[in-house]
Amino acid sequence: MSDQPILRVSALEKSFGSVHAVRGVDLDVAPAECVSIIGPNGAGKSTFFGTVAGEHRPTAGSIEYAGRDVTSWSAARLARHGVSRTFQVARLFGSRTVEDNLMVARVAADRRSVRAWNVFGRSSRGRTQVQDVMEELDLAALAQAPAGVLAQGDRKRLELAMALVQDPTVLLLDEPTAGMSLDDTERTIRTLARIRSEHRRMTIILTAHDMDVVFALSDRVVLMGQGKVVVHGTPEEVENAPETRELYLGVKS
Amino acid sequence: MTAQQNSTVVAPPEPTRSPVGIERRRHPIVELAKILVTCLVIAFAVPTVVHDANLFLVTTAVIYAVFAMGTNVLFGWTGISSFGQAAFFGTGAYAVGLTKDHIESPILAVLVAGLAAGVMALLFAALAGRITGVEFAMLTLIFGQILWMLTFRMDALHGENGIPAISRGELFGQNLFLDDKFWWFAVIVATVVVLGLAHIRRSSLGASMNAVRDDPLRAAALGIDVRLVRALAFTIAGVVAGVAGGLMAQQQGLVTPEILVWALSGEVIVMCLIGGMRTFWGPAVGAVILTVVEHYLFDKLASPDFFVGLALLVVVLLAPGGLLSLTTVFRRVRRRVAR
Read off the pLDDT of residues A86-134 as tens digits, 9 standing for 90 and up: 998 889 999 999 999 999 999 999 898 888 888 888 877 888 899 999 9
Q: Which residues of A touch B3 (CB under 8 A)?
A: 183
pLDDT at B9: 43
pLDDT at B10: 45
When pLDDT is averaged across residues B206-229 and rounded to a whole number, the result is: 94
Question: How far, in Å, CA of B164 to CA of B98, rounded?
Answer: 10
- Better-predicted residue by pLDDT, B300 or A174: A174
Strand partners, A38: A223
| Range of weakest confidence among A39-43, A237-241, B15-19, B201-205 | B15-19
**Model pLDDT for residues B137-196, shown as the tens digit of each residue:** 999 999 999 999 898 888 778 877 878 877 887 778 777 778 888 999 999 999 999 999
Contact B207 A120 (CB under 8 A): yes
- Better-predicted residue by pLDDT, B27 or B256: B256
pLDDT at B249: 94
Nearest CA in chain B to A135: B8
pLDDT at B23: 53
pLDDT at B6: 43
pLDDT at A171: 94
Contact A93 B22 (CB under 8 A): no
Please determine, for residue A175, whether its predicted confidence score (pLDDT) is greater than 50: yes
pLDDT at A249: 58
Contact A79 B228 (CB under 8 A): no
Q: Which residues of B touch A182 (CB under 8 A)?
A: 1
Nearest CA in chain A to B228: A114
pLDDT at B171: 79
Q: How far is A118 from chain B (nearest CA, A)?
A: 5
Please determine, for residue A201, whether its predicted confidence score (pLDDT) is greater than 50: yes
Q: What are phi and psi of A101, to 5 degrees?
A: -55, -45
pLDDT at A58: 92
Q: For residue B16, what pLDDT band results from cuts at 50, 70 and 90? A: very low
Please determine, for residue A165, whether its predicted confidence score (pLDDT) is greater than 90: yes
Nearest CA in chain A to B278: A95
Contact B1 A143 (CB under 8 A): no
Contact A79 B223 (CB under 8 A): yes
pLDDT at A226: 87
pLDDT at A163: 94
Please determine, for residue B4, whether its predicted confidence score (pLDDT) is greater than 60: no
Smallest Cβ distance to B204: which of A87, A120, A184? A120
C-alpha distances out from residue B281 to A205, B68, B209, Å: 46, 10, 18
Of A151, A100, A116, the closest CA to residue B9 belongs to A151
Instruction: Return the H-helix or E-strand segment holding B289.
Output: helix B282-300
CA A186 to chain centre: 18
**b/e code B20-29 from CB counts within 10 Å (16+ = b):** bbbeeeeebe
Percentage, residues of chain A above pLDDT 90: 48
Nearest CA in chain A to B225: A76
**Which residues 14-33 of B have a C-beta within 8 angstroms of A?**
15, 17-19, 21-22, 28
When pLDDT is averaged across residues B190-205 and rounded to a whole number, the result is: 94
pLDDT at B19: 45
Q: How far is B219 from chain A (nearest CA, A)?
A: 8
Size of interface A-B (CB pairs under 8 A): 148
Task: Kindly give the pairing relationship between strand A170-174 and strand A83-85.
Answer: parallel
Please determine, for residue A240, whether its predicted confidence score (pLDDT) is greater than 80: yes
Q: Which residues of A touch B15 (CB under 8 A)?
A: 144
pLDDT at B13: 44
Amino acid at A239: E
pLDDT at B165: 75
Average pLDDT, chain B: 86
Do B18 and A148 touch, CB atoms closer than 8 A? no
Amino acid at A198: E
pLDDT at A104: 94
Question: How far, in Å, CA of B236 to CA of B113, rounded?
Answer: 13
C-alpha distances out from residue A250 to A45, A229, B176, Å: 18, 17, 84
Smallest Cβ distance to A113: which of B3, B215, B224? B224
- CA A242, A41, A244 angle in degrees (round to 5)? 5
Q: Which residues of A touch B204 (CB under 8 A)?
A: 107, 112-116, 118, 120
**Model pLDDT for residues A81-97, shown as the tens digit of each residue:** 999 999 988 899 999 99
Query: Would you list the DSSP string of A125-153?
Result: HHHHHHHHHHHHTT-GGGTTSBGGG--HH
Contact B223 A162 (CB under 8 A): no
Of A234, A163, A159, the closest CA to residue A204 belongs to A163
Smallest Cβ distance to A116: which of B1, B11, B200? B200
CA A200 to chain centre: 16
Q: How far is B52 from chain A (nearest CA, A)?
A: 39
Smallest Cβ distance to A104: which of B202, B207, B228? B207
pLDDT at B7: 42
Q: Where are the beta strands (DSSP E) in chain B?
A: 170-171, 174-175
Please determine, for residue A253, whether its predicted confidence score (pLDDT) is greater than 60: no
Nearest CA in chain B to A118: B203
pLDDT at A3: 64
Please determine, for residue B222, whether its predicted confidence score (pLDDT) is greater than 70: yes
Please determine, for residue B1, whether its predicted confidence score (pLDDT) is greater than 60: no
**All residues at 6 or more sequence positions from B311 whose CB lies less than 8 Å from its CB, including other chains:** B274, B293
Question: How far, in Å, CA of B58 to CA of B292, rounded?
Answer: 7
Nearest CA in chain B to A85: B221
Best of A55, A95, A133, A186 to substitute, by most chain B Cβ atoms within 10 angstroms, is A95
Q: For residue B8, what pLDDT band results from cuts at 50, 70 and 90? A: very low
Question: How far, in Å, CA of B273 to CA of B264, rounded?
Answer: 14
Q: Which residues of A touch B233 (CB under 8 A)?
A: none
Please determine, for residue A199, whether its predicted confidence score (pLDDT) is greater than 90: no
> Does the CA dihedral B302-B303-B308-B313 come out positive or negative?
negative
Nearest CA in chain A to B218: A91
Please determine, for residue B2, whether its predicted confidence score (pLDDT) is greater than 70: no
Question: How far, in Å, CA of B286 to CA of B182, rounded?
Answer: 22
pLDDT at A250: 58
Q: For residue B15, what pLDDT band results from cuts at 50, 70 and 90? A: very low
- DSSP code at position A39: -
Smallest Cβ distance to B214: which of A93, A113, A138? A93
**Model pLDDT for residues B25-46, shown as the tens digit of each residue:** 677 788 889 999 999 999 888 8
**Model pLDDT for residues A1-30, shown as the tens digit of each residue:** 456 889 999 999 999 988 889 998 999 999
CA B5 to chain centre: 47
Q: Phi-psi bin for A222: left (phi > 0), alpha (psi -120 to 50), beta?
A: beta
pLDDT at B25: 64
